Structure 1
Amino acid sequence: MYSSNRRQFLTLASAAALAGGAATTSPLAAAEDTSTATTAAADTDSRYNPRPAIAAYSFRKHFSWSRGKAQQPLAPKMDLRGFIDFCAAQRAAAELTTYFFPPEIHTAELLDLKRYAFRSGVTICGTAVGNRFDEYTGERLEQDIAAAEQWIDRTALLGGSHIRLFAGKAKTLADAGRFAASVAAVQRCARRAAERGVMIGLENHGGITAETLLRFVDAVDSDWVGINLDTGNFPTEPYKQLRACAPRAVHVQWKVAIRDEQGKHNEADFERLATILRDVQYSGFVAMEYEEPGDAYQATADALQRMKTALGV
């Protein structure tokens, strides 16, 4: 848990990255201007400790279940044990995307998966859910919150330290009422997370900007809530926005493609991404989440190795 001083520092660091002083023309300009100044010092600082992981979402077409529905898996088929095996072979932790669990799963099955991961030498770093707190209302919202709370419980049972939630999409969060409702829902989840010892990471998802995400995290105001930093999800000025959010990151999902300032998809600059994490002395899991076409097995393994090299691990 962050101390109050630590949280104040992170808030100020993010605000400084966004503000950049009166002389700048872009609210994100200062974030990029600091990109080279502290790398050498951070390399020798013990707080920089990225831990490689793989997101099960990389193999989304190979599982038999997706978001509670059966699907025809792409060959070679994968199940959650097979995913653990893949992580073991790559010497990486496992991020278990909840979409790929069967709709009915019992405690004994979760404990069996936990045991299997332990015996395979694989850390289950956490889980990821696809909540829609910004979109749902009434009973449907209550069900969505209950499902998220259930997965917080399950994450703790599995030994995971983190769960990914969505703050919401840019369009819905632009409405003050929906913004407040989503904040309130995350606050409820944060109370459960505090009881279970699980960090919540809110992802930059659905076109939201760094400013919106940081404002959302501040509104939730919990030591158990930070940012799930997805390197491929900012619509414009991606590296500047990533730098602005990096001080608040509690988990990172690393993509091989990134949107440039014109919104086009280009190959990510792995060294530049690694520098952003070094500069904020990031300590935590960095999950390779492969989403591009091709052989997911080989491409994920190759991309993971490139990521490890860039991170220096």
Structure 2
Amino acid sequence: MNEERWVEKPQSTQSGRRDFLKTALASGPLLATVPLIGQSGSPTERAEMKNVRLSCNLYSFNEPLTKGQMTLEQVLEFCADLGFDAVDPTGYYFPNYPVLPDDSYVYQIKRKAFRLGLDISGTGVRNDFTLPDPARRKAEVELVRKWIGFAARLGAPVLRIFSGIGKELKPGYNRDEVTTWVVDAIRECTEQAARQGVIIVLQNHADFIQTADHVLEIVKRVDSEWLAVNLDIGSFKIGDPYAQIARVAPVAATWQIKENLFVDGQETVTDLDKIMRIVRQSGYRGYLPIETLGKGDPKQKVPVFYEKVKKALRSYE
């Protein structure tokens, strides 16, 4: 993800992009038959593209990083030795988060990654744009705006954000109203992102966003080329996740590939072949960060899942 993964809008106007998103909102599960904006060729031709690489979302190492069992530098070395092309270090793993780290440390990590042959495929923050208090939402916007600058200094092309943390609406508010809060906040963030050359990527996280329609509505309403999606395959927990992933895939600028996902709310092992088929048919180019969750030593879990994802990816190359 050291180059832009956003699907290009048409040369003429933004109307084509808006029309595409309308189609995405209304379309069925498989968007493989819907042409991507700014791309040509049949789905089969797009499926033959080979410029997709693997990154490690460092939340996989959350426990050793937060408990001081591994340093960020040691995790980078582990990922480089394993064979990853990139890493995605969330902002939580820098000293004193949510306070911005010293530039000297940011550049130290940036240099370390470069010397190890790793790209920085992205980074992320924790935010909540569903808070009823306008002053608190404004503070959340300022948090994201500050970390956009951090992403630019780190060399991360995308910054992951959330819509809001809570699944349940606050009493007295409806979904349309809260969605407007989220849209307005994200639009402010994209204005800052455009000035610093960082793409905001909205993560579906089974919080305020629970379905493909929720994701696509926000992206459509913000209507900025500096907003895309961080497609978290493990966070669609209603209905068929593969259908929802396929609907959102054409507007993804990065992903989170997980060991398990939820089919009709039941946790099941991810069908990686099916995921790679969706990736290819969507025309995606860029990094696929993987993320392992749950109990167990990530130094054992990450290599196993890395090999599984790599095998599935190669089967479509």
Q: Which residue of 2 aligns with 1:24?
A: none
**How many Å separate the matches in 2 of 1:127 and 1:153?**
11
* Corresponding residue SS for 1:171: coil
Bigger Cα displacement from structure 2, 162-171 vs 79-88: 162-171
Q: Is residue 254 of structure 2 the alignment partner of residue 257 of structure 1?
A: no
- The 8 Å contact of residues 161 and 198 in structure 1, kept in 2 or not, is answered as yes
* Corresponding residue SS for 1:157: helix
How far is 1:162 from its partner? 0.7
**How many Å separate the matches in 1 of 2:7 and 2:254?**
14
Aligned with residue 41 of structure 1, among 16, 40, 45 = 45
**How many Å separate the matches in 1 of 2:292 and 2:71?**
17
Matches within 5 A, 1:129-208: 129-135=125-131, 137-168=133-164, 170-172=167-169, 174-205=174-205, 206=207, 207-208=209-210
**How many Å separate the matches in 2 of 1:220 and 1:184?**
7
- The 8 Å contact of residues 190 and 200 in structure 1, kept in 2 or not, is answered as yes
Change (3 A) 1:240 1:84: same
Aligned with residue 99 of structure 1, among 86, 92, 96 = 92
* Corresponding residue SS for 2:193: helix
Change (3 A) 1:223 1:78: same
- The 8 Å contact of residues 14 and 244 in structure 1, kept in 2 or not, is answered as no
How far is 1:138 from its partner? 3.2
CA deviations over 1:289-309 (Å, ceiling 9, x no partner): 111322211111111121122
How far is 1:243 from its partner? 0.4
Bigger Cα displacement from structure 2, 172-181 vs 54-63: 172-181
Change (3 A) 1:12 1:295: farther
Q: Which residue of 1 aligns with 2:26?
A: 19
Change (3 A) 1:278 1:59: same
How far is 1:90 from its partner? 2.2
CA deviations over 1:246-281 (Å, ceiling 9, x no partner): 000001110010000x20101000000000000011
**How many Å separate the matches in 2 of 1:153 and 1:33?**
38
Change (3 A) 1:144 1:17: closer
**How many Å separate the matches in 2 of 1:203 and 1:107?**
26
Please give the TM-score of this superposition, normalised by the length of structure 1: 0.85
How far is 1:137 from its partner? 2.4
Amino acid in the other structure paired with 1:19? A
- The 8 Å contact of residues 91 and 122 in structure 1, kept in 2 or not, is answered as no
**How many Å separate the matches in 1 of 2:216 and 2:102?**
36
Q: Is residue 309 of structure 2 the alignment partner of residue 302 of structure 1?
A: no
**How many Å separate the matches in 1 of 2:15 and 2:246?**
17
Q: How many residues align?
A: 290
Q: Which residue of 1 aligns with 2:104?
A: 108
* Corresponding residue SS for 2:235: coil
* Corresponding residue SS for 1:78: coil
Q: Which runs of no fewer than 5 residues in structure 1 stay unpaired?
A: 21-27, 65-71
Q: Which residue of 2 aligns with 1:238?
A: 241
Bigger Cα displacement from structure 2, 128-137 vs 49-58: 128-137
**How many Å separate the matches in 2 of 1:111 and 1:123?**
13
Matches within 5 A, 1:267-286: 267-286=269-288
**How many Å separate the matches in 2 of 1:81 and 1:101?**
11
Bigger Cα displacement from structure 2, 183-192 vs 97-106: 97-106
How far is 1:14 from its partner? 5.3
- The 8 Å contact of residues 18 and 30 in structure 1, kept in 2 or not, is answered as no
Amino acid in the other structure paired with 1:214? L
Change (3 A) 1:144 1:293: same
Change (3 A) 1:246 1:3: closer
**How many Å separate the matches in 1 of 2:159 and 2:74?**
21
Change (3 A) 1:19 1:54: same
**How many Å separate the matches in 1 of 2:16 and 2:118?**
33
CA deviations over 1:127-174 (Å, ceiling 9, x no partner): 011110112523322222111111110111011111101123553495
How far is 1:188 from its partner? 1.0
- The 8 Å contact of residues 18 and 223 in structure 2, kept in 1 or not, is answered as no
How far is 1:49 from its partner? 2.2
Amino acid in the other structure paired with 2:26? A
Amino acid in the other structure paired with 1:59? F
Please give the TM-score of this superposition, normalised by the length of structure 2: 0.84
